[in-house]
Amino acid sequence: MQKVKVDFVGIIPTLFAHCQHCMQVMHETGLKPYSEQFEEYPDDIKEQYFGIAELAQKITKEFRGQVVFDAVDPASILGLWYTVRYRITKTPCILINGKKVFNKIPSYEELRKKIIELLDVHTQTQSTLPR
Domains, the chain, ranges and CATH?
4-128 (3.40.30.10)
Query: What pLDDT score was predicted for residue 27?
Result: 63
DSSP 67: E
Summarize pLDDT for 71-102 with one digit per residue, the tens. Answer: 999 999 999 999 999 999 999 999 999 999 99
Summarize pLDDT for 114-127 with one digit per residue, the tens. Answer: 999 998 865 555 54
The count of C-alpha atoms lying within 13 angstroms of the C-alpha of 130, restricted to the half-sphere facing its C-beta, is 0
- For the chain, what is the largest distance between any 2 Cα atoms, rounded to a whole number of angstroms? 63
The answer to whether the CB of 7 falls within 8 A of the CB of 86 is no
3-state secondary structure of 74: coil
* pTM, 2 dp: 0.75
Query: What pLDDT score was predicted for residue 93?
Result: 94
| Dist. CA 17–CA 34, nearest whole Å | 7
